[in-house]
Amino acid sequence: MTNQIIIKGKKISLAPIAGTTVLRASAPLKCSICGKYRPFFYNIQIHSGEPAMLICVAKCHRHLQKQLMSHIEDHFFIRGIDAPLSIPSKFFIYCRVSTAEVTHPKHNLEGQKDVLISFAYDHKFVVANVFQESCSAMSSRPVFDQMLQRIEKGEADAILVQDVSRLVRNATDGRRIAAMLGQGVLFQVITPFQVLNHNSFILQISMQEKERQALSRNVKRGLQTRKSRGN
């Protein structure tokens, strides 16, 4: 259901994002706490009988969680006001190979797709779409960009991928995904072996970056050693 409010004569729609407690505004609205204009909010009534407040998910909801919220099982309570915790409702599957020459049945596009669809079926995940592309993660990825744009429109709130390296291999894309997780636009990134939220995703990509830097140093060291030996 979509609610409409009128601000300075302009109609603004507030639509709930499926499976979460987050609202998406059709135009940026002012957060009741920080005063910044944001597109995503929690609609919270702190005191009974008082007007509800729009609390941005980008920053201020963490303050409310710390000051006002207590957890009981799968619900949180803000001074007696009950709302369900966010859970993924729809998944996008993302499959990527670096080159079209990848033919191994477990690592090519169709192999990744089959594994992830089977995993989604076993865990009763609702898959809204499957995205596949063949390109390096260090280059422009039009399919990847399209997927994130559709997540921002509320078409899905979680990504299912074979491995985080299939999704992110550079700092720019890593920061982009981390920001979406931090804002509540994206709820989780899930692989068959990991469930990643904002903090664990940042840790994962940080570890990947350290591994890439170590590999690069080892390669350079090896080349220098060969050069010094006249090879």
Mean pLDDT throughout 117-129?
A: 88
pLDDT at 81: 43
Same domain, 73 and 126: no
On whether residue 50 sits in a domain, the answer given is yes
Range ranked top by mean pLDDT from 13-17, 36-40, 65-69: 36-40
Q: How far apart are CA 214 and CA 177, in angstroms?
A: 24
Q: What mean pLDDT, rounded, does the chain reach?
A: 75
Q: Over 90: is that where the pLDDT of 200 sits? A: no
Dihedral through CA 128, CA 88, CA 174, CA 191, nearest 10?
-80
Q: Which residue has the higher pLDDT, 130 or 4?
A: 130
Domain identity same for 64 and 156? no
Provide the pLDDT confidence category of residue 179 given band limits of 50, 70 and 90: confident
Do 47 and 117 reside in the same domain of the chain? no
pLDDT at 147: 96
Domain identity same for 105 and 186: yes
Sign of CA dihedral 221, 223, 228, 229: positive
Is 183 in contact with 177 (CB distance < 8 Å)? no
Predicted pLDDT of residue 75: 46
Return the DSSP state at 17. Answer: P
Is residue 162 exposed (0-12), middle (13-18) or buried (19+ Cβ within 10 Å)?
Answer: buried
Give the count of domains, the chain.
2
Burial class (CB in 10 A: 0-12, 13-18, 19+), 223: exposed
**Could you tell me the residue range of the domain that residue 55 belongs to?**
3-84
Q: Does pLDDT of 142 surpass 80?
A: yes
Q: Is residue 225 part of a domain?
A: no
Instruction: Tell me, yes or no, whether 60 lies in a domain.
Output: yes
- 108 and 70 share one domain: no
Residues counted in the chain: 231
Better pLDDT: 28 or 206: 28
Residue 43 has pLDDT above 50, yes or no: yes
Q: How confident is the model at residue 102 (pLDDT cuts 50, 70, 90)?
A: low
Q: Give this prediction's pTM.
A: 0.58
Q: How large is the average pLDDT for residues 27-56? A: 75
Last residue of one domain, picked from the residues 65, 84, 103: 84
